[in-house]
Structures are given as C-alpha cells and as structure tokens.
C-alpha cells in the first residue's frame, strides 16, 4: 500500500462508497502529450427568445400544444415521454431473457422564459423558483410513484435537444438500478456502523478540505473521493434530510445560493457554458418514512477534460473493465476553487 502522499503521482484504485464500485486513477498520465479530439469552440449565447424553439413562451411544440406566456418556471407533460402511465401491466413469463413492465410519467421543466439563460446565469429569485419547483414535483409525483428522478442535461455535448434552459423529471413505478445500489449501500452502512454514510462523508470532507468546492450552513459541494468524471461534483445536504420536499425555507434559499456559485465556477473553469448532466437522488418514495439511512444529494457529471473543446470519453478500458481517470479529484477540486464566483 503506497503512502497517501504518493496518490498524486502513482496509479491507484478508489472505491465509490455509494455504489461499491471501484475505479482506477492514473495521475501520471495527465503529463502525457495530448493529441485527442479538439471540437470546435462553442457558439455565442442564444437570444432571449427564439421563434423556432419549442420551449420558449408562446411557441408551438411538436405536439401542437402552445406554451403559455410563462414568466417563471413552466412544467408540462413530455410530448415524447420515455415512460407511460398506462399499459405494461402483464408480466412476461420468466426464463432466460427476463422482462418486466415499467410505467410512470415524464415532464419537462422550463427553468425560465429567457432562451439564452442557464442556471448559472439566473438571478437569485429565478433560481429560487427552480428550487421550489423541484421540491413541489418531488412531493407531488412521490405521492404516486416509487421513485422520482429530477435531472438536467445541459449542452449539446450532453444530448440536450434544445439550448433553452430546462430539465426533466421521470417518475416510475420501480427504483432504477443506480438508485437501488445507493439505497443498498447507504442502508448497509447505517446497519453496520450506526451512522449515515453521506453524513460521515460530509464531515470527513469538511475536515480535510482538499476536495471541497463550496459550503454553507446547509450544503456542501465536493469533488468526491471516488469521482469518475474529471470535474464531477457531489452536492450533499448537511442536515438529516432525505427528500427535496423536506427542505426548510432556509435550506432552499441556501441551495439556490450554492448552486449559483458552483455553476459559475464550472463556467469560469474553461470560459464557456459548461456542459453537464446533473440529477437529484432523494430517498425513493416507495420506502415511505424508512429513510434514516438516506441523505439527500445531487450528482453533477460534466464531460470536459482539458478545455472547452476537449472532452473525456468513457471508452476502451472504461467500457470493458473499470472506470478510469487521469487527474486526481484533489487536483480537480483545487482548480475549481481557483475560479471566482459571485
């Protein structure tokens, strides 16, 4: 076992406490010459209103529905939902190739009417409305479905179908695979140690400081010890709260504040609208009140590696063997801390 002081220079593996998976860290590779993909630079920010955008206020969507002249957040049923709230009720025979029904519903969340805005550029009031919308949707859909997954894909690099600032929510009658892994490992932790896993992680990260990006009285943003993507971050609630709707007014205001600062650091890192996929992991609603082991958190997975035009690809060894990264999480956190945020 190498001394911890050598982790910045030599290959080693780290374990993801939330999923149990291991990943390979190869920091010495960050020193190699780079001849990888160089994508064209990003385009200028879009206008405040695009008459061709199906998410802008007053415009017609592909379904023929017309968006109202909304002034804040606007939520509507996804016109091309991945889950439907009917059908799929017949269980297929079990055998070598298993299937099972899946039902649910999906909605689109327009964060703001401004086509050229992003969460990083929204003002405090507008960002607070997004937080309230997340909390309301978690409560409403969680009353009917086993799990509520709120997420945002930002940027064409992450497959966003429109540059208009928006996210989605998918509610399902099943607990998805990644969430089920987190459920199992958080439950095992409290049964074995008597403490909350992400509470212990937050306390250790606050004490160490080397992977911390932002903190306030209610939230902590870190590059997790087990980060897979170069500038991946984990946003952890510091109180014993398991779902968005449980947040106090003070915690909701603090969430809007730390989101703004974290996303501004992302944009400032390479001087671009930083792409990412992010999502909330609250306790699955099918657990009911049995959530003492679960701590509310959000994952941010950005693809950029070296600049606004060079991305990390999960290929080769990552697809066939184990996740691998070059720059250490500590180095990534140091670079994000160096970026100014308002």
In this structure, the answer to whether residues 88 and 194 fall within a common structural domain is no
- Say if residues 208 and 214 touch (Cβ distance below 8 Å): no
Report residue 68 as tokens: 């109202």
The predicted model scores a pTM of: 0.93
In this structure, the answer to whether residues 236 and 144 fall within a common structural domain is no
In this structure, the answer to whether residues 106 and 122 fall within a common structural domain is yes
Quick one: pLDDT at residue 92?
A: 63
For residue 223, give its domain range. Answer: 176-337
Beta-carbon neighbour count of residue 143 at 10 Å?
11
Note whether residue 80 is domain-resident: yes
Note whether residue 143 is domain-resident: yes
Q: Which residues of the chain have pLDDT under 50?
A: 1-2, 33-39
In this structure, the answer to whether residues 246 and 104 fall within a common structural domain is no
In this structure, the answer to whether residues 314 and 207 fall within a common structural domain is yes
| Residue pLDDT, tens place only, 249-258 | 999 999 999 9
Q: Which of 172, 197, 232 is the last residue of a domain?
A: 172
166 is an active site residue: yes
Quick one: pLDDT at residue 109?
A: 98
In this structure, the answer to whether residues 147 and 233 fall within a common structural domain is no
* DSSP collapsed to 3 states, 5-57: HHCCCCCEEEECCCCCCEEEECHHHHHCCCCCCCCCCCCCCCCCCCCCCCCCC
Q: Which of 115, 166, 218, 285 does the annotation list as catalytic?
A: 166
Q: Where are the beta strands (DSSP E) in the chain?
A: 12-15, 22-25, 74-77, 104-110, 147-154, 166-172, 212-215, 219-222, 233-237, 276-281, 297-301, 304-307, 310-311, 324-325
In this structure, the answer to whether residues 185 and 322 fall within a common structural domain is yes
């Amino acid at each position: 076992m190498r001394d911890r002081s050598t982790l910045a220079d030599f290959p080693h593996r780290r374990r993801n406490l939330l999923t149990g998976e291991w990943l390979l860290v190869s920091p010495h590779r960050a020193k190699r010459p780079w001849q990888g993909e160089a994508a064209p630079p990003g385009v200028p920010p879009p206008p405040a209103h695009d008459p061709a955008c199906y998410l802008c206020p007053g415009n017609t969507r592909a379904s023929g529905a017309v968006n109202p002249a909304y002034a804040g957040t606007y939520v509507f049923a996804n016109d091309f939902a991945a889950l439907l709230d009917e059908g799929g009720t017949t269980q297929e025979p079990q055998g070598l190739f298993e299937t099972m029904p899946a039902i649910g519903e999906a909605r689109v969340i327009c964060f703001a009417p401004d086509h050229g805005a992003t969460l990083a550029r929204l003002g405090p009031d507008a960002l607070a409305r997004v937080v309230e919308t997340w909390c309301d949707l978690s409560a409403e859909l969680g009353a009917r479905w086993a799990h509520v997954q709120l997420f945002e894909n930002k940027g064409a690099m992450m497959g966003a179908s429109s540059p208009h600032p928006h996210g989605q929510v998918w509610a399902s009658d099943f607990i998805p695979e990644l969430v089920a892994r987190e459920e199992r490992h958080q439950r095992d932790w409290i049964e074995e140690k008597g403490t909350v896993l992400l509470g212990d992680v937050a306390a250790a990260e606050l004490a160490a400081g080397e992977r911390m990006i932002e903190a306030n009285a209610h939230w902590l943003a870190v590059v997790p010890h087990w980060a897979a993507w170069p500038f991946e971050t984990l946003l952890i609630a510091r109180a014993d709260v398991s779902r968005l709707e449980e947040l106090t007014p003070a915690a909701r205001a603090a969430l809007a504040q730390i989101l703004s600062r974290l996303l501004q650091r992302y944009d400032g890192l390479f001087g671009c609208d930083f792409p990412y996929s992010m999502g909330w992991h609250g306790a699955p609603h099918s657990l009911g009140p049995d959530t003492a082991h679960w701590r509310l958190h959000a994952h941010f997975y950005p693809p950029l590696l070296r600049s606004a035009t060079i991305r990390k690809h999960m290929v080769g060894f990552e697809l066939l063997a184990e996740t691998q990264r070059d720059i250490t999480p500590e180095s990534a956190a140091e670079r994000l801390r160096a970026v100014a945020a308002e």
